[in-house]
Structure 1
Amino acid sequence: MKRRLAVAGVSLAVVLGCGTLPAVATGSVPAAATTTAAAPDVDVNKVKAHLNELSAIAGRNGGNRRSTGQGYRDSVAYVKGKLQAAGYTVTEQPCTSGCTSGAGPNLIAEWPKGDANNVIMFGAHLDSVSAGPGMNDNGSGSAALLENALTLAQQNPTMRNRVRFAWWTDEEQGLNGSDFYVRSLPSTERTKIKAYYNFDMVASTNGGYFINHITSSAAAPMKAYWDSLGLQPEENTEGAGRSDDYSFEQYGIPTSGYAMGASARKTSAQAAKWGGTAGSAYDPCYHRSCDTLTNINTTGLDRASDGVAYTLWQRAVDTGTGGSCDTAGVVGNGGFESGTSPWTGNTGTIGAHSGLPAHSGTRFAWLGGNGATSTESISQTVTVPAGCTQASLSYWLYIDTDESGSTAYDRFTVKAGGSTLATLSNANAGSGYVQRSVGLSAYAGQTVTLTFTASEDYSLQTSFLLDDVSLQSG
């Protein structure tokens, strides 16, 4: 993870229930493709074997694997050799602009099965800082992804979507490798990437369990897995804008990922929940020479590796459950961070409005607030997946009003097609955002237009601030 601190954009949130939690795979693995409903248990000892190799590479190259050194290039060669032997289509992408002079290439590996128009991407930076070998930062994420890639090839399940892995160069110098990759993609290729998952520092010795954009659609399977272990994960606020997922967020691609923390200090509440030492850094060897093989939390590494597998299976593998539960893109631009499309109607209400806050990110839809007779609406058409159950539309709404009393003068309605699902008013005003939801289970498998409308009477404003629209399971 790099040091620069920036505010990350918030991707749309789309979450639905998708099958069962993972079970440990047992027995021999058939050579032919098979349909399997459960994600495999990724062997953490094999993940650690990759770490051993990366450590040895650093030891032969001045004690580090910085992007401009031979240690990085040897790391690329090691990962590439494993992937090619497993049957991946592997590409070295030289970073020809924006990277540090002399930086090695990005490594991109694609499993050549599944729908190429629906790509689920997993990435980790492969470079270290100059100060040390970078076993946690970010050998841990790199090794976890490598073993997941090899496990996918070994299991060889029937694929629903395409899976692409990436190991990034020059992250420590400014997210340069991943930025170059996304920037270089034609827009048609970017739109094929339905979600990007990032793994940066997933074995911190005093770490916690953090998820990027924990309420987003991309995060849903990641959170479901860690919830199944009783880990009570939290939002990765320390890592916002500091790792390669940010490069994808800049282009409106939904993102998530696991992390266990860097130089920020563990709180007392976190120590009570997860163990470890309150008041101490999540990784006491962050960007230091002591980030060696002794600086690895094996339990955390195991949980992250298995969570990657669970997420991969949920998003890309044909689980044999009788219907697709892949929710990527169901609600487009639900956080309003990527312009106005695909919203229609009074899209001028969408923006980074001064004087009033977004629920998350910087942009939201400000409906109403005119203090005069007016009606403003925004809509988009979605298809509710048929393979999921108990679907509900969730949204965050902040109602600010100059009206008083309990009479409903100004109203906010939520519609699906021609049916009104919810009506709120100035009488529901409060001091901040409240998450609300309406049922959409009746529309499973159907395409329907969702409409949010604010109607004001002749005087006294009521503002309805709408943000983070999502589709969730009940």
Structure 2
Amino acid sequence: MKRRLAVAGVSLAVVLGCGTLPAAATDSAPAAVTAAAAPDVDVNKVKAHLNEFSAIAGRNGGNRRSTGQGYRDSVAYVKGKLQAAGYTVTEQPCTSGCTSGAGPNLIAEWPQGDANNVYMFGAHLDSVSAGPGMNDNGSGSAALLENALTLAQQNPTLRNRVRFAWWTDEEQGLNGSDFYVRSLSSTERGRIKSYYNFDMIASTNGGYFINHITSSAAAPMKAYWDSLGLQPEENTEGAGRSDDYPFEQYGIPTSGYAMGASARKTSAQAAKWGGTSGSAYDPCYHRSCDTLTNINTTGLDRASDGIAYTLWQRAVDSGTGTSCDLTGAVANGGFESGTSPWTGTTAAIGAHSGRPAHSGTRFAWLGGNGTTGTESLSQTVTVPAGCTQASLNYWLYIDTSETGSTAYDRFTVKAGSTTLATLSNANAGSGYVQRSVSLSAYAGQTVTLTFTATEDYSLQTGFLLDDVTLQNG
């Protein structure tokens, strides 16, 4: 994981040692989620990939920095495994924004499933120059590789497309993933329904953290860890610090697992998960001791199986005979193509000055007048019968001059006459937040979605709406 430059260094206990990871027993998939037919990923095979990354670093100055031979050899190892398994594999040179001499991104796609509905899973493959980077981020890279190989070996029928990525130059500023997302056309970005990131998933004093834990994208990841009784928490330490962030910047829903970096475990977390309170989640973060001994095998196993569960939930055909294609279900959800087919207060849609769009240049600014009034936007959508886990996702920025926790100005989301969500000035923040409501009850129906802002007589609250989508799951 990329270090935040503003975070001061702290003195941490050092865990020294190197060698080959031993075999270990695995956690079996719990009964609550076995019905999804997701495989139990063999953690010993994940650790075999870590052993190879460690050996590569040992032959190349002790690290796998993006500009060095250790990184290029890591790419060659992963690429060889994927090609042998039948993947379409591409090395993407990072031609702008990356550190001079950085190696390529590695992109692998399994050639099945709907290419208009892509679920993407990624991890950065580079380390810092200080050490071999076994937890940061050999752990995510190895778990991702074994999941890809397991998918190929199982070869289930896919309803959606699965794409894997191993990113270059993350440690220098998320440069590889940023280049990848920038290089896509808007149409190609629109095909990516969710991106899942895995960075530091084996921290020795770690916790169980999920990016955007309450979002629709995170639902299967949270469901799996909930089934293990782990009581996961939001990954606040990692926000904006890993390869999910460039995807977020373009309005692509994201989630992912992490076990923590240099932040310190609280007493409440230690009581819940074990470990040492007051100490860093990873005492070897960005240090030479991030070797094979700096791996939490239990956490690595739980994350690896959770990745598989998420992949199966998002992409594998359940065999029910029903289908769920929500491509284009919400038209002009980013408001970039005029106002149609939205109805209502369409003057609220535009490239407004004073506040940014979540992505692109246009958004809907409802309210914000500081006088009594109501503004709304509506669109009629059809939820296919097979979409029994459909959700409505949207990004909302609540900007207010009100103070305190009293709800003076309100924002509602309705399906037909049913109110699905109500927010107010009391929910204001400093930027856009992705929110989600279920439309599962409307499978097989056509329904009108309505977003409404209602203000009282004084002090404005603007509700800035962008990137409205329907998603399966």
Deviation at 1:387, TM superposition (A): 3.6
Unaligned 5+ runs, structure 1: none
Q: Secondary structure at the match of 2:391?
A: strand
Q: Secondary structure at the match of 1:33?
A: helix
Deviation at 1:56, TM superposition (A): 0.5
Unaligned 5+ runs, structure 2: none
The two structures have a TM-score, normalised by structure 2, of 0.79
Q: Secondary structure at the match of 2:241?
A: coil
Deviation at 1:185, TM superposition (A): 1.5
1:8-42 CA distance string (max 9 Å, x none): 99999999999999999999999x99999410000
Change in Cα spacing, 1:103 to 1:272, as seen in structure 2 (3 Å) is same
Deviation at 1:193, TM superposition (A): 1.1
Equivalent pair of 2:21/2:293 in contact (CA under 8 Å): no
Q: Secondary structure at the match of 1:103?
A: coil
1:226-276 CA distance string (max 9 Å, x none): 111111111111111111111111111111111000001001111111110
Equivalent pair of 1:203/1:297 in contact (CA under 8 Å): yes
Q: State the match for 1:423 in structure 2.
A: 422
Deviates more, 1:435-444 or 1:90-99: 435-444
The answer to whether 1:29 aligns with 2:42 is no
Q: Distance in 2 between matches of 1:10 and 1:465?
A: 39
Q: How does 1:223-242 map to 2 (within 5 A)?
A: 223-242=222-241
Deviates more, 1:243-252 or 1:195-204: 243-252
Deviates more, 1:165-174 or 1:36-45: 36-45
Change in Cα spacing, 1:50 to 1:337, as seen in structure 2 (3 Å) is farther
Equivalent pair of 2:14/2:289 in contact (CA under 8 Å): no
Change in Cα spacing, 1:260 to 1:361, as seen in structure 2 (3 Å) is farther
Change in Cα spacing, 1:10 to 1:410, as seen in structure 2 (3 Å) is farther
Change in Cα spacing, 1:288 to 1:322, as seen in structure 2 (3 Å) is same
Q: State the match for 1:122 in structure 2.
A: 121
Equivalent pair of 1:344/1:378 in contact (CA under 8 Å): yes
Q: Secondary structure at the match of 2:412?
A: strand
Deviation at 1:392, TM superposition (A): 7.9
Deviation at 1:382, TM superposition (A): 4.0
Change in Cα spacing, 1:365 to 1:290, as seen in structure 2 (3 Å) is same
Change in Cα spacing, 1:288 to 1:381, as seen in structure 2 (3 Å) is farther
Deviation at 1:95, TM superposition (A): 1.1
Deviates more, 1:457-466 or 1:319-328: 457-466
Equivalent pair of 1:13/1:218 in contact (CA under 8 Å): no
Q: Distance in 2 between matches of 1:418 and 1:19?
A: 63
Q: State the match for 1:16 in structure 2.
A: 16
1:421-462 CA distance string (max 9 Å, x none): 789999999999999998855522223221132456778978
Give the % identical residues: 92
Q: Distance in 2 between matches of 1:439 and 1:299?
A: 33
Q: Distance in 2 between matches of 1:13 and 1:452?
A: 52
Equivalent pair of 1:12/1:216 in contact (CA under 8 Å): no
Q: Distance in 2 between matches of 1:280 and 1:25?
A: 27
1:356-378 CA distance string (max 9 Å, x none): 99999999977546454532113
Equivalent pair of 2:244/2:254 in contact (CA under 8 Å): yes
Q: State the match for 2:444 in structure 1.
A: 445
Change in Cα spacing, 1:387 to 1:13, as seen in structure 2 (3 Å) is farther
Change in Cα spacing, 1:428 to 1:18, as seen in structure 2 (3 Å) is farther
Q: Secondary structure at the match of 1:420?
A: strand
Deviation at 1:93, TM superposition (A): 1.0
Q: Distance in 2 between matches of 1:368 and 1:29?
A: 48
Q: Distance in 1 between matches of 2:64 and 2:340?
A: 42
Change in Cα spacing, 1:420 to 1:63, as seen in structure 2 (3 Å) is closer
Q: Distance in 2 between matches of 1:362 and 1:217?
A: 25
The answer to whether 1:7 aligns with 2:46 is no
Equivalent pair of 1:401/1:461 in contact (CA under 8 Å): yes
Q: Secondary structure at the match of 2:84?
A: helix
Change in Cα spacing, 1:410 to 1:15, as seen in structure 2 (3 Å) is farther
Q: Distance in 2 between matches of 1:13 and 1:389?
A: 49
Change in Cα spacing, 1:202 to 1:339, as seen in structure 2 (3 Å) is farther
Equivalent pair of 1:15/1:471 in contact (CA under 8 Å): no
Equivalent pair of 2:94/2:176 in contact (CA under 8 Å): yes
Residue-pair matches, total: 473
Change in Cα spacing, 1:47 to 1:387, as seen in structure 2 (3 Å) is same
Deviates more, 1:312-321 or 1:299-308: 312-321
Q: Which has the higher contact order (CA 8 A, sep 6+)?
A: 1
- The root-mean-square deviation of aligned C-alpha atoms, in Å, is 8.4
Equivalent pair of 1:141/1:200 in contact (CA under 8 Å): yes
Change in Cα spacing, 1:13 to 1:55, as seen in structure 2 (3 Å) is closer
Equivalent pair of 1:384/1:444 in contact (CA under 8 Å): yes
Deviates more, 1:430-439 or 1:180-189: 430-439
Change in Cα spacing, 1:314 to 1:463, as seen in structure 2 (3 Å) is same
Change in Cα spacing, 1:171 to 1:454, as seen in structure 2 (3 Å) is closer
